[in-house]
Chains A and B, each alone.
Chain A
Amino acid sequence: MSPNTAAAASPAAAAQAQAQAEDWLVDAALAPLADGSLAPLYAGAAAGELTLPFCAACGLALELEQRACDGCGATDIRWRPVERAGSVHAVTLVHRREPGLVRVTEPYPVLDIELASGHRLIMTTLTATGSAPAIGRPVTIGFRHVGGVAVPAASLDPAGADDSPATSGTTPVPGTTPAPDPSAAGLPAAAHTSSEPEVSP
């Protein structure tokens, strides 16, 4: 994957350095397809925004792969930045670590986050942690970088994700201070999933 382009301002260099650093959790081989079906999400993430789909006609929050609104039937989808805040809806601590794909040596969390916008996104945490947060716990959203692609991640820090305000819906990119942890990409964001299945049941 080619790295996304970071913002143009002075923090650009810092942002670029973050984007090129290795992710704490997974190998770059798991980088998502930035110009695929979720391109608006990744473009927003590269600019520090959590960008998600809504029905352009009725405003209903839609799933990432939804192409028509289940509320009104409209097929005009609008992706827009949302507040980078939510709470834990479901949680697991993954013990199985696939060699070559997962870089950590200890169990890692996977969270289903219910965002203030109503969307639910699956993500891991911004930085390594061996504990699983409780359901209902508030989180803010930042970004990890996997193979140069920014992906949403949850910050469990009660003070919010690094330098970004916890609930700034439309704040542009990372801000002032560089994130202390190389894996803590600038800001907010989260993402998730819809139903799909490849592995059976």
Chain B
Amino acid sequence: MASPLEPAIVGLGLTPMSLSAGGVPVDLAIEAVAGALADAGLAPGDVDGLLVNSSQGVRPDRLGVALARQGGLGDLRLLEHVEIKGATAAAMIQRAVLAIRAGLARTVICVFADAPLRAGGTSGSTYAHSGGNDGARGLERASGVLGSVPTYALLASRYFAVSGGDPEDLCAVAVSTRAWALGNPDAVVRKPLDAEGYFASRMISAPLRVLDCARPVNGAVALVVSGEATPGQAPRVHVRGMGQAHPMRRRRAPGESWFGGGRAAVDGALEMAGLTRADLDVIELYDPFSVVTLLLLEEYGLVEPGQAGKVVRSGATAPGGDLPVNTGGGQLSGFYLQGMTPLAEAVVQLRGAGGARQVPGASTALVGGIGGRVDHHACLILDLEPSR
């Protein structure tokens, strides 16, 4: 029998976001799950679905479906590991909603945990040593492409060449995003930032400076999606629209290899929701690097082509602006927990729980998640109303 209500996000749990080594993903995940269940007013026995988003790639202690047993859950009707890289978080919500609508489950937990910060090494070092020596990645690594920053720096270089723009635009993104972080107690970087401070920061791979890069943390986020009436106090956040796009850009002339093709995910989500871009109150984007915010604003049709830098420099995306973007400080200044970062912030805003960084009256949000080298896009349109 199908659930009585339209599936909605009814629980949200975040661990503290730590900049110190320590914690293992499974423990962090269990803590976040407990928080999300308490938020929803539910007990473990009320859950019949679990979707797990591991941190792909380098970590031996990645989360798996064994989390259900380790976390004390009861019998489940839905248990899956979802994996489309950074776009996984939004994709898990999509999967949960569809499963509930189909009657395959009633109440589903979606969880992600990561602990890249380890004693004796930086996250940058962890990434630099990952990737192996076979295939295209092996050839790149032999050419000095270690970690993900150089590849996104190449993307930035190409984006500037095609769309215009320059480091002042990157600076504007970093400053705007930091301004939002000041109002978010969960953000790990809450020191005011101006252009002078930005340009004084260390260059990592030109044009990307350290302040253009996400802040990895050890932490976890869990959400509860349910089609049942739940006793939690927070308003239900409905998933009105969803879309994905996986453009097969080829690494050959004459097309662009580094970006393009993601807009269909947003177009599809808006069409499903029956909304337009003008209806969106807050925009929460996956921003592992400042250039990605600029790129996605254009690629998703939120600003005119070539205008992202100008729009951000105008202050429109910052607190008080008319196009609020990454209102919790994003991954740059908030915390980098992959797709959970924009998703969690959207839920906080629609609940009106944003405190000092609350966007007044926010009732609709776009969540944009990307994966790989902007190879995967998964989008959600969240809304306080189940229908309009």
Which are the 3 A-B pairs with shortest beta-carbon distances? A92-B153, A197-B372, A193-B136
Contact with B150, one of A61, A62, A92, A135 (Cβ below 8 angstroms): A92
Contact (Cβ within 8 A) B137 A198: yes
Select which of A70, A112, A119, A149 is within 8 A of B154 by beta carbon.
Answer: A112
Residues of B within 8 A of A153 (CB): 143
Tell me if B205 and A32 are in contact (CB < 8 A).
no
Q: Are B157 and A90 in contact, with the CB atoms below 8 A?
A: yes
CB of A21 closer than 8 Å to a CB of B? no
| In the assembled complex, B388 has its CB within 8 A of some CB on chain A | no
Tell me the bound Cα distance from A124 to B143 in angstroms.
5
Residues of A within 8 A of B205 (CB): 92-96, 110
Report whether B158 and A198 are in contact in the complex, using a CB–CB cutoff of 8 Å.
no
B-binding residues in A (CB < 8 A):
1, 25-26, 30-33, 36-38, 41, 61-65, 70, 89-96, 98-99, 101-102, 107-108, 110, 112, 114, 118-124, 132, 135, 146, 149, 151, 153, 191-201
A122 touches B143 (CB 8 A): yes
CB–CB A201/B292 < 8 A: yes
Q: Are B139 and A193 in contact, with the CB atoms below 8 A?
A: yes
A-B contact pairs, 5 of them (CB 8 A): A63-B250, A63-B251, A132-B206, A198-B56, A201-B372
> A101 touches which one: B128, B143, B148, B156 (CB < 8 A)?
B128
Q: Is the CB of B288 within 8 A of A201?
A: yes
Size class of B's contact patch? 35 or more
Q: A90-B258, A199-B148, A200-B338 are in contact. Are A30 and B157 (CB under 8 A)?
A: no
Task: Find chain B residues with CB under 8 A from A195 CB.
Answer: 249, 251, 372-373, 375
Query: Closest CB-CB distance, A62 to chain B, in whole Å?
Result: 8
Q: Which residues of A contact B286 (CB under 8 A)?
A: 201
Q: What CA separation (Å) do A2 and B286 show in the bound complex?
A: 42
- Contact check, A32 vs B248: say whether CB atoms are below 8 A apart: no
A42, closest chain B residue (CB): B139
* Chain B residues near A (Cβ < 8 Å): 55-58, 85-86, 124-125, 127-151, 153-158, 161, 202-208, 248-253, 257-258, 286, 288, 292, 338, 370-375
Distance of A95 from chain B, by nearest CB (Å): 4
Q: How far does the Cβ of B286 sit from chain A's closest Cβ, in whole Å?
A: 6
Q: Which of B131, B249, B257 has the most chain A CB atoms inside 10 A of its CB? A: B257
**Cα–Cα, bound, A114→B257 (Å):** 11
The smallest beta-carbon distance between A178 and chain B, in angstroms, is 23
Complex CA distance for A87 and B292, rounded to whole angstroms: 25
Q: Please name all residues of chain B whose beta carbon is closer than 8 Å to the beta carbon of A196 when the two chains form the complex.
A: 135-137, 372-373
- A173 CB to nearest chain B CB (Å): 20
Which residue of chain B lies nearest to A98 when distances are taken between CB atoms in the complex? B128
Contacts of A63 in B (CB 8 A): 136, 250-252
Asked if A38 contacts B133 (CB within 8 A), the reply is: no
Q: Are A36 and B144 in contact (CB under 8 A)?
A: no
Question: Assuming the A-B contacts A95-B205, A112-B154, A201-B374, are A32 and B127 also in contact, with contact meaning beta carbons closer than 8 angstroms in the complex?
Answer: no
Q: Are A135 and B143 in contact (CB under 8 A)?
A: no
A146 CA to B147 CA in the complex, in Å? Answer: 19
A94 to B257, CA, bound (A): 20
Option from B129, B203, B373 in Cβ contact (under 8 Å) with A201: B373
The 8 Å CB contact of A64, one of B135, B143, B145, is B135
**Known pairs A37-B134, A197-B85. 15 more at Cβ < 8 A?**
A32-B133, A64-B136, A90-B161, A92-B150, A98-B129, A102-B146, A110-B143, A114-B253, A118-B252, A120-B257, A151-B139, A193-B139, A194-B251, A199-B130, A201-B373
Residue of B whose beta carbon sits closest to that of A116: B253
Question: Total A-B residue pairs with C-beta atoms closer than 8 Å?
Answer: 208
Distance of A195 Cα from B373 Cα, bound (Å): 7
Which residues on A sit within 8 Å (CB–CB) of B144?
25-26, 94, 102, 108, 110, 124
Min CB distance, B379 to chain A, in Å?
15
Tell whether, in the assembled complex, residue A122 and residue B154 are in contact, meaning their CB atoms are under 8 Å apart.
yes
* B148–A201 touching, CB < 8 Å: yes
A120 with B134: in contact, given A32-B139, A94-B144, A199-B58 (CB under 8 Å)? no
Question: Interface centre among B137, B208, B375, by most A CB within 10 Å?
Answer: B137
Chain B residues with CB below 8 A from A93, complex form: 205-206
- Give every chain A residue within 8 A of B131 (Cβ-Cβ): 198-199
* Contact present for B154 and A91 (CB under 8 Å): yes
Contact yes or no, A199 B154, CB < 8 A: no
Complex Cα distance, B365 from A114, in Å, reads 39
B155 near A26 with CB under 8 A, answer no
Given A89-B158, A90-B258, A135-B157 in contact, is the A192-B251 Cβ separation under 8 Å? yes
Contact across chains for B375 and A30 when beta carbons are under 8 A apart: no
With a CB–CB cut-off of 8 A, which chain A residues contact B253? 114, 118, 120
Query: Are A31 and B142 in contact, with the CB atoms below 8 A?
Result: yes
The residues of A that contact B127 with a CB separation of less than 8 Å are: 199
- A198 and B58 contacting across the interface, CB-CB below 8 Å: yes
CA distance A48 to B257 in the complex (A): 27
Tell whether, in the assembled complex, residue B137 and residue A193 are in contact, meaning their CB atoms are under 8 Å apart. yes
Q: Is the CB of A95 within 8 A of B204?
A: yes
A96 and B149 in contact (CB under 8 A), knowing A197-B372, A200-B338?
Answer: yes
- The interface residues of chain A lying within 8 Å CB-to-CB of B158 are 89-90, 112, 135
Q: Is the CB of B148 within 8 A of A193?
A: no
Is there an interface contact between B248 and A70, defined as CB atoms closer than 8 Å?
yes
A70 to B255, CA, bound (A): 14
User: In the complex, what residues of A have CB within 8 A of residue B129's CB?
Assistant: 98, 101
Using Cβ atoms and an 8 Å threshold, which residues of chain A touch B157? 90-92, 135
